[in-house]
Amino acid sequence: MIRLHHCPQTRSMRTLWLLYELDVDFEVVQHAFDRSLRDPEYLSLSPAGRVPALEIDGERMFETGAITEFLCERFPKANMGRGPDDPDRMAWLVWVHFAETISQHAAALTQQHIMLYEDAMRSPIVMKLEAARLAKCYDAIEARLSTPIENRDYLLTSGFSAADVSVGQAVYMSRHFAMLDRHPAVAEWYERITERSEFQKSLPKAGTGLYTQDFYPAWEAAG
């Protein structure tokens, strides 16, 4: 039995997309992104009160990178992981975990634009800095995808994998704050992977996500 604890448009979407790609049976427990994640019952699953939390065969996991590695090892037939002897193993690990580098900046911007409920709490400087840091992350992906190696339609030379899922979901979140117009290779790759039916299944239903608009520009500092 696999049970995913999920909030729409959060890091748990990464695990949801991966589970669809693995084509395994699972159930989803959807939570509101609020103080209920601090309830003792949920904290027994995820001690920091964050999503995702994964229950599998009587055990529990949290942290998306660890969940990704475990699921890919547990269900290898889908070829979403890369084993220790695979030439792409090192790159797979790097990109699976680079997703969290991207996500921390998107999370900071989500807090600034959405979670802070009074304008006086928000910082135009933080907004601009974090958006610029997302652009630097896009630079790294652009460089990877622009390398003139055959079959570099995905992050790995060997093809689509959980690395694309992890980074792709992080970019999905980040596009609310930093556009891809200056990163053509990233834009093409992102369009390619998000056409997949498994990604489409992981999208939130109308009215259930965190974001009420497609893009949130950084504020201008008061003069």
Domains of the chain by range and CATH? 2-78 (3.40.30.10), 89-202 (1.20.1050.10)
Q: How far is CA 56 from CA 25, 45, 71, in A?
A: 11, 11, 10
pLDDT in tens, 78-129: 999 999 999 999 999 999 999 999 999 999 999 999 999 888 999 999 999 9
Q: How far is CA 203 from CA 9, 141, 194, 200, in A?
A: 8, 23, 10, 5
Provide the residue type at 4 as one letter. L
* Cβ-based neighbours of 208, under 8 Å, separated by 6 or more: 8, 30
Provide the residue type at 133 as one letter. R
The whole-number pLDDT of residue 147 equals 76
Query: Residue 145: pLDDT above 80?
Result: yes
Query: Residue 55: pLDDT above 90?
Result: yes
pLDDT in tens, 32-50: 988 889 999 999 999 999 9
